[in-house]
Amino acid sequence: VVLLLVASASMIAGLAGNIQNPAIANMEADLPATASQISLSISLFIGLQGFMPLLWSAISEVKGRKVVYVVSLAIFTAGSAVVATSKTIQLVIIFRCVQATGHSAPNSGAATLADIFDPVERGTKMGIYYIAPLLGPSLAPIMGGVLTTGFNGRAPFWFLTICSGLSCSLIFIFFKDTFRKERSLTYQNVLKSRLKSQASNAS
Protein backbone atom coordinates (compact mmCIF):
# COMPACT_ATOMS: atom_id res chain seq x y z
CA VAL A 1 0.00 0.00 0.00
CA VAL A 2 2.81 2.42 0.90
CA LEU A 3 4.59 1.68 -2.38
CA LEU A 4 1.39 2.31 -4.37
CA LEU A 5 0.60 5.58 -2.56
CA VAL A 6 4.12 6.98 -2.91
CA ALA A 7 4.52 5.85 -6.53
CA SER A 8 1.17 7.31 -7.59
CA ALA A 9 2.02 10.64 -5.92
CA SER A 10 5.37 10.77 -7.71
CA MET A 11 3.70 9.99 -11.05
CA ILE A 12 1.31 12.93 -10.59
CA ALA A 13 4.32 15.10 -9.78
CA GLY A 14 6.02 13.82 -12.93
CA LEU A 15 3.03 14.83 -15.05
CA ALA A 16 3.12 18.44 -13.85
CA GLY A 17 6.23 19.54 -15.74
CA ASN A 18 5.23 18.64 -19.31
CA ILE A 19 1.43 18.46 -19.24
CA GLN A 20 1.28 22.20 -19.94
CA ASN A 21 3.19 22.01 -23.23
CA PRO A 22 0.28 21.07 -25.56
CA ALA A 23 -1.80 23.87 -24.03
CA ILE A 24 0.75 26.65 -24.64
CA ALA A 25 -0.91 28.08 -27.76
CA ASN A 26 -4.31 27.91 -26.07
CA MET A 27 -2.97 29.67 -22.96
CA GLU A 28 -1.29 32.41 -25.02
CA ALA A 29 -4.63 33.23 -26.66
CA ASP A 30 -6.77 32.77 -23.54
CA LEU A 31 -4.87 34.76 -20.91
CA PRO A 32 -3.42 36.46 -23.10
CA ALA A 33 0.31 35.87 -22.75
CA THR A 34 3.48 35.97 -24.83
CA ALA A 35 5.65 32.97 -25.62
CA SER A 36 8.42 34.35 -23.40
CA GLN A 37 6.04 34.66 -20.43
CA ILE A 38 4.91 31.07 -20.84
CA SER A 39 8.55 29.99 -21.12
CA LEU A 40 9.32 31.88 -17.91
CA SER A 41 6.57 29.99 -16.04
CA ILE A 42 8.02 26.68 -17.25
CA SER A 43 11.62 27.66 -16.43
CA LEU A 44 10.76 28.76 -12.89
CA PHE A 45 8.77 25.57 -12.37
CA ILE A 46 11.70 23.39 -13.45
CA GLY A 47 14.17 25.39 -11.33
CA LEU A 48 12.11 25.04 -8.15
CA GLN A 49 11.37 21.43 -9.00
CA GLY A 50 15.09 20.72 -8.79
CA PHE A 51 15.74 22.70 -5.61
CA MET A 52 12.76 22.00 -3.34
CA PRO A 53 13.35 18.25 -2.75
CA LEU A 54 16.41 19.27 -0.71
CA LEU A 55 14.22 21.27 1.65
CA TRP A 56 11.41 18.72 1.86
CA SER A 57 13.88 15.89 2.52
CA ALA A 58 15.41 17.80 5.43
CA ILE A 59 11.96 18.54 6.89
CA SER A 60 10.91 14.89 6.55
CA GLU A 61 13.96 13.84 8.58
CA VAL A 62 12.68 15.92 11.50
CA LYS A 63 8.88 16.03 11.18
CA GLY A 64 8.25 12.69 9.48
CA ARG A 65 7.24 11.56 5.99
CA LYS A 66 3.45 11.76 6.27
CA VAL A 67 3.36 15.42 7.29
CA VAL A 68 5.57 16.33 4.35
CA TYR A 69 3.51 14.35 1.84
CA VAL A 70 0.17 15.75 3.01
CA VAL A 71 1.34 19.38 3.27
CA SER A 72 3.23 19.33 -0.03
CA LEU A 73 0.39 17.69 -1.96
CA ALA A 74 -2.08 20.16 -0.46
CA ILE A 75 0.16 23.02 -1.67
CA PHE A 76 0.40 21.40 -5.10
CA THR A 77 -3.38 20.95 -5.27
CA ALA A 78 -4.02 24.57 -4.31
CA GLY A 79 -1.44 25.82 -6.82
CA SER A 80 -2.96 23.71 -9.60
CA ALA A 81 -6.47 24.99 -8.85
CA VAL A 82 -5.36 28.63 -8.96
CA VAL A 83 -3.48 28.10 -12.23
CA ALA A 84 -6.59 26.46 -13.70
CA THR A 85 -8.71 29.51 -12.83
CA SER A 86 -6.12 32.24 -13.47
CA LYS A 87 -7.11 35.18 -15.68
CA THR A 88 -3.62 36.67 -15.98
CA ILE A 89 -0.20 35.28 -16.86
CA GLN A 90 1.22 36.82 -13.66
CA LEU A 91 -0.97 34.56 -11.55
CA VAL A 92 0.00 31.57 -13.68
CA ILE A 93 3.70 32.28 -13.15
CA ILE A 94 3.33 32.75 -9.39
CA PHE A 95 1.22 29.67 -8.82
CA ARG A 96 3.25 27.48 -11.14
CA CYS A 97 6.02 28.25 -8.65
CA VAL A 98 3.66 27.24 -5.83
CA GLN A 99 2.92 24.04 -7.75
CA ALA A 100 6.62 23.27 -8.08
CA THR A 101 7.15 23.91 -4.36
CA GLY A 102 4.49 21.38 -3.44
CA HIS A 103 5.04 18.77 -6.10
CA SER A 104 8.72 18.21 -5.32
CA ALA A 105 8.24 16.20 -2.11
CA PRO A 106 6.78 13.01 -3.69
CA ASN A 107 9.91 12.83 -5.85
CA SER A 108 11.83 12.03 -2.66
CA GLY A 109 9.74 8.91 -2.06
CA ALA A 110 12.76 6.63 -2.15
CA ALA A 111 13.51 7.60 1.46
CA THR A 112 10.13 6.19 2.50
CA LEU A 113 10.89 2.86 0.85
CA ALA A 114 14.30 2.76 2.54
CA ASP A 115 12.48 3.11 5.88
CA ILE A 116 10.35 -0.01 5.47
CA PHE A 117 12.15 -2.44 3.15
CA ASP A 118 15.26 -4.45 3.97
CA PRO A 119 18.26 -4.10 1.64
CA VAL A 120 17.54 -7.53 0.15
CA GLU A 121 14.14 -6.48 -1.26
CA ARG A 122 14.76 -2.76 -1.52
CA GLY A 123 16.18 -2.96 -5.04
CA THR A 124 13.03 -4.54 -6.46
CA LYS A 125 10.75 -2.06 -4.68
CA MET A 126 12.88 0.87 -5.81
CA GLY A 127 12.68 -0.40 -9.39
CA ILE A 128 8.89 -0.52 -9.20
CA TYR A 129 8.76 2.91 -7.57
CA TYR A 130 10.96 4.60 -10.18
CA ILE A 131 8.67 3.50 -12.99
CA ALA A 132 6.18 6.14 -11.81
CA PRO A 133 8.31 9.33 -11.85
CA LEU A 134 9.88 8.27 -15.15
CA LEU A 135 6.55 7.38 -16.76
CA GLY A 136 4.91 10.65 -15.69
CA PRO A 137 6.92 12.98 -17.95
CA SER A 138 6.50 10.53 -20.85
CA LEU A 139 2.71 10.44 -20.55
CA ALA A 140 2.29 14.14 -19.74
CA PRO A 141 2.39 15.53 -23.32
CA ILE A 142 -0.07 12.88 -24.51
CA MET A 143 -2.49 13.50 -21.66
CA GLY A 144 -2.08 17.25 -21.98
CA GLY A 145 -2.86 17.04 -25.69
CA VAL A 146 -5.95 14.91 -25.14
CA LEU A 147 -7.28 17.19 -22.39
CA THR A 148 -6.55 20.40 -24.30
CA THR A 149 -8.13 19.08 -27.51
CA GLY A 150 -11.13 17.64 -25.71
CA PHE A 151 -11.73 20.60 -23.41
CA ASN A 152 -9.43 23.64 -23.27
CA GLY A 153 -6.02 24.82 -22.08
CA ARG A 154 -7.14 24.86 -18.46
CA ALA A 155 -8.17 21.19 -18.43
CA PRO A 156 -4.65 19.80 -17.77
CA PHE A 157 -4.45 21.87 -14.57
CA TRP A 158 -7.90 20.78 -13.43
CA PHE A 159 -6.76 17.21 -14.04
CA LEU A 160 -3.71 17.79 -11.83
CA THR A 161 -5.92 19.40 -9.18
CA ILE A 162 -8.24 16.39 -9.02
CA CYS A 163 -5.45 13.78 -9.08
CA SER A 164 -3.27 15.50 -6.47
CA GLY A 165 -6.26 16.19 -4.22
CA LEU A 166 -7.23 12.52 -4.37
CA SER A 167 -3.64 11.43 -3.70
CA CYS A 168 -3.38 13.82 -0.74
CA SER A 169 -6.62 12.44 0.74
CA LEU A 170 -5.55 8.80 0.31
CA ILE A 171 -2.16 9.43 1.91
CA PHE A 172 -3.80 11.29 4.81
CA ILE A 173 -6.19 8.37 5.42
CA PHE A 174 -4.13 5.26 4.64
CA PHE A 175 -0.46 6.19 4.93
CA LYS A 176 1.21 5.22 8.19
CA ASP A 177 4.34 7.24 8.80
CA THR A 178 7.45 5.18 8.10
CA PHE A 179 9.88 7.65 9.66
CA ARG A 180 12.19 6.15 12.30
CA LYS A 181 13.68 8.77 14.57
CA GLU A 182 16.38 6.45 15.85
CA ARG A 183 17.77 6.00 12.29
CA SER A 184 17.78 9.66 11.31
CA LEU A 185 21.09 11.46 11.83
CA THR A 186 19.38 14.77 11.05
CA TYR A 187 16.77 14.18 13.75
CA GLN A 188 19.43 13.15 16.28
CA ASN A 189 21.49 16.27 15.53
CA VAL A 190 18.44 18.53 15.90
CA LEU A 191 17.54 16.78 19.17
CA LYS A 192 21.07 17.21 20.53
CA SER A 193 21.02 20.88 19.57
CA ARG A 194 17.71 21.40 21.39
CA LEU A 195 18.94 19.60 24.50
CA LYS A 196 22.12 21.70 24.59
CA SER A 197 20.06 24.86 24.19
CA GLN A 198 17.72 23.84 27.01
CA ALA A 199 20.66 22.94 29.25
CA SER A 200 22.37 26.29 28.64
CA ASN A 201 19.13 28.16 29.33
CA ALA A 202 18.58 26.22 32.55
CA SER A 203 22.06 27.05 33.79
Least confident piece of the model among 75-79, 116-120, 150-154, 167-171:
116-120
Mean predicted lDDT score pLDDT of the chain: 88
Among the residue ranges 42-56, 106-120, 133-147, the one predicted with the least confidence is 106-120
Statement: residue 195 has pLDDT above 80? no
pLDDT tens by residue, 120-151: 888 898 898 889 888 999 999 999 999 999 99
- What is the per-residue pLDDT for 33? 95
Q: What's this model's pTM, rounded to 2 decimal places? A: 0.85
Cis peptide before 32 (omega within 30 of 0): yes
Domain count, the chain: 1
| Band of pLDDT at residue 83, cut at 50, 70 and 90 | very high
CATH of the domain at 16: 1.20.1250.20
Sign of CA dihedral 148, 153, 158, 163: positive
- Domain, as residue range, for 40: 2-202
Task: Give Rg (Cα) of the chain.
Answer: 19
Q: What is the mean pLDDT of residues 186-195?
A: 59
Write down the pLDDT at residue 189: 59
Q: Looking at residue 1, what is its pLDDT?
A: 82
pLDDT at 71: 94
- What percentage of the chain carries pLDDT values higher than 90? 56
| pLDDT at residue 123, as a whole number | 86
Alpha-carbon distance 83 to 80, whole Å?
A: 5
How high is the pLDDT of residue 188?
Answer: 55
List pLDDT tens digits, range 60-70: 888 888 999 99
Q: How confident is the model at residue 81 (pLDDT cuts 50, 70, 90)?
A: very high
Q: Which of 88-92, 99-103, 174-178 has the highest mean pLDDT?
A: 88-92
Is the pLDDT at 191 greater than 90? The verdict is no
Q: What is the DSSP string of the chain?
A: -HHHHHHHHHHHHHHHHHTTGGGHHHHHHHTT--HHHHHHHHHHHHHHHHHHHHHHHHHHHHH-HHHHHHHHHHHHHHHHHHHHH-SSHHHHHHHHHHHHHHHTGGGGTHHHHHHHS-HHHHHHHHHHHHHHHHHHHHHHHHHHHHHHHHT-TTHHHHHHHHHHHHHHHHHHHHPPP---GGG-HHHHHHHHHHHHHHHHHH-
Which among 149, 58, 68, 53 has a CA at the least distance from the CA of 108?
53
